[in-house]
Structure 1
Amino acid sequence: MIRSSSCPKAGIHIRESDIKPIKPIHSNKPNTYNPNYIPEPKPRTFLSPQSQLSKPVSFHNTTLDKLDLDLNNYSLNDLYTLFNIEDNDLTVDTLKQAKQVVLKMHPDKSRLEPKFFLFFSSAYKKLKEVYDFQNKSYTNKKYVDEDFFEEGNKELLNNMFQKPEFKDTNGKGFNKWFNDAFEKSRLEDPNAHGYQDWLKSDDGFMSVDENVTQSNMNEIFERQKKQLQDVIVYKGITDSVSSSSIGGSLFGDTTNYSSGTYTDLRQAYTETLIPVTEEDYNKMHKFASLNEYKSHRDRVDVTPLSESDATKMLYDKKKGDDHQSASLAYKYALESEQVKKKQNGFWSDLKKLTNF
């Protein structure tokens, strides 16, 4: 059995011949070898909150009794659908239309409960923040100094440190309170846990349930490479100029075969084979001489994209960039609101603690 002394992950495990094969062989279980096994794609860590709705919600098509009033369950696309914004295109006109929907929900006009107006108003504000984020001007900057620390909170803290449990010399009372308050007030990061549990597990190992010899080892590696080839996603025409992405992609979908200096830890141990097989080599055109190779290169069509194709490619790229920036803005808008709620909760608990 091949194992690494420094790390529990060693890519492919080969079972010793005296161990009986695992039966039955499961069709899609990565810990047993199966010629038809296709690795499941890595979960995509997408910054924009995912939709928690059972079905799309629209102002014109959804009845109020079925309307989910929890904005945290809505993704950015859900908000586009809610206000009937076509092509996910935020403009001055589409924002005006969305604002008209909000005004219609005002209790004085709709005769409905205020909770509906508050929901639509909050949803509109999120879209407005996304629009402002995408269209902010760098030429007309305005610097605003804002003090986030209220003078009354200073007095709150002074009263807290006068309490007997916080006056102990070893600081245990304060440390316990601080740790509890910190855990209660901090935002949960979905990527904060890393791969600690995965590194302790056998997930990601490719076990070979057959006697491996020098003669069939190459065949086993070729089958695994073929399986990796089958799940490579075609992303269409991409830019030929690449740049370093040390900080990682905003969407968390880096690849082990990119030109970046670093790679994801899990990918480094699960994608241990470069998916280039003997079959790929056999498909390549063979050249008997340098002149034959040059002649072949001269016949290769290197005609640039037509103007219409190039324009479409640039348009699609811009739409993708706009979608990414909008998703990022929506995520930060939701996080900002959560931070304010947790901050208010922190000071509220402190007032109860100090009887202020």
Structure 2
Amino acid sequence: MNFNNKSFTTNSCPKIGIKIHETNNNSFSNKNIFESQNINIMNNQSKLTKPVNYYNTTLDTLDLDIDNYSLDDLYHLFNIPDKQLNDVSLKDAKQIVLKMHPDKSKLDSKYFLFFSKAYKTLFSIYEFQNKSTKKTFKNEDYYDESNNAILDNVFKNNKDFKDPKNFNNWFNKSFEKHRIENPIEEGYGDWLKSDEGIMDISENVTKGNMNEIFEKKKKQIQALTTYNGVSDMFSSTLGGSLLTGDSTFTTDSYTDLRQAYTETLIPVTQEDFEKMPKFSNVNEYKSNRDRIDSTPLSKVESERILLRQHNDMDQQSAALAFKYAKESEKAKRNQQSFWGDIKQLTG
């Protein structure tokens, strides 16, 4: 197995416990990989215009739990610095996976299984982004008929379950154990019972210093405000976000309970007010508006903005696909665990 490296940089690996260091080796054979357990897993320099950071990873300290990896970690793992999934980047990533096969690398199969799972995740994201055909939804029954016998044995071997109260108690505990939590749909029950979001003013507020304290609080809110970039003037959606659960279903202010309580102070300071242009009459205001440059964007600038928006949409769709892939994998594990618990009851 040869990895031709043309440049090396000292960097930090996205996963803990993985040391990255400089090296002058230009190739690795199966023998020294097996002996040192060091392997350069990044070999994606071909057809890339920007310099590539090579990651020399100690395999015996590599985190093999795919659940601990974010989407950016997977990009780093397969050396996709521009975060663009295409035929070329996926082909190079697949080559890395194939080189990790035990027959070629002489390594434990767990490394091949880990890289295979990581690649499948990226490939599913690529399919999600590039799917052009519409899926025809059909009413399908996903219930496994073989589970009927298991359920019958549960009630046959556990006489306590014949009491609805006992069965409901077991079911509620099992449900809480295996359900997939969605933080967007959790509600605000716990938040309402806590002191989170309450304005903490330890100073003694008087009529003389009230304005100064409010100005200080406004600046603190401004420092925590997230800037999401310039939004389009028009949008084909309601302006919400599937990733964060944001929704602008109505134009009314404070449709969200938590927002109404936490955003009671508008973070516009006196300093912001002083920076705004002032007009003594309507004519001055109109004259200032007339001086605003309304020249349409040039073709180059328009294409640059469109490209940026396209890249942003790609990143959002990739993040959404990654989120769904993680949830789907977790749902499968929880389902297996649920039926595993039921089978134990029949034992």
TM over 0.5: yes
Q: In structure 2, do the counterparts of structure 1 residues 176 and 210 end up closer, same or farther at CA, with 3 Å as the change threshold?
A: closer
Relative to structure 1, is the Cα distance of residues 144 and 96 closer, same or farther in structure 2, using a 3 angstrom cutoff?
A: farther
Q: Is the 8 A contact 1:255 1:263 kept in 2?
A: no
The CA deviation at 1:322 is: 1.1
Q: TM-score by structure 1 length? A: 0.72
Task: Name the residue aligned to 2:117.
Answer: 122
Q: How does 1:257-276 map to 2 (within 5 A)?
A: 262-276=254-268
* Match for residue 96 of structure 2 among 94, 101, 115: 101
For structure 1, the 5+ residue unaligned runs are: 1-50
* Partner residue of 1:307 out of 289, 299, 302: 299
Q: CA deviation at 1:245?
A: 4.5
Cα distance, 1:274–1:166 mapped onto 2, change above 3 Å: same
Partner of 1:85: 80
Judge conservation of contact 1:165–1:173 (CA < 8 Å) in 2: no
AA aligned to 1:125 is K
Mapped to 2, the partners of 1:347 and 1:114 lie a distance apart of: 28
Aligned to 1:59: 41
Shift of 1:87: 0.5
Query: Do 1:242 and 1:259's aligned partners in 2 also have CA atoms closer than 8 Å?
Result: no
Q: Which runs of 5+ in 2 are unaligned?
A: 1-13, 21-39, 43-55
Cα deviation digits, residues 209-262 of structure 1 (max 9, x gap):
22422x54344434433443444444443212357758x523428599x95765
Q: Structure 1 residues 349, 242: CA separation in 2 closer, same or farther (over 3 Å shift)?
A: same
- Indicate yes or no: 2:324 matched with 1:329: no
The answer to whether residue 174 in structure 2 is matched with residue 181 in structure 1 is yes
- Match for 1:135 among 106, 130, 134? 130
2:91 aligns to what SS in structure 1? helix
**Residue 208 of structure 1, CA deviation:** 5.1
Range 292-301 or range 54-63, more displaced = 54-63
Contact 1:185 1:342 in 2 (8 A): yes
CA contact (8 A) 1:69 1:119 kept: yes
Query: Over aligned residues, Cα RMSD in angstroms?
Result: 3.2
Give the drift of 1:147.
4.6
Query: Which among 201, 217, 228 is matched to residue 210 of structure 2?
Result: 217
Q: Which moved more, 1:183-192 or 1:327-336?
A: 183-192
Residue 205 in 1 paired to residue 199 in 2? yes
> Matched residue of 1:241: which SS?
coil
Q: Distance in 2 between matches of 1:164 and 1:277?
A: 67
**2:243 touches 2:320 (CA, 8 Å); kept in 1?**
no
- Report the 3-state secondary structure (helix = DSSP H, G, I; strand = E; otherwise coil) of the residue aligned with 2:265: coil
Relative contact order higher in (CA < 8 Å, ≥ 6 apart): 1
Q: CA deviation at 1:294?
A: 2.4
Question: Out of 287, 295, 310, which is 2:287 matched to?
Answer: 295
* Match among 267, 270, 276 for residue 284 of structure 1: 276
User: Aligned-pair distance for 1:121?
Assistant: 0.9
Distance change >3 Å, CA 84–CA 260, structure 1 → 2: farther
Equivalent residue for 1:152? 146
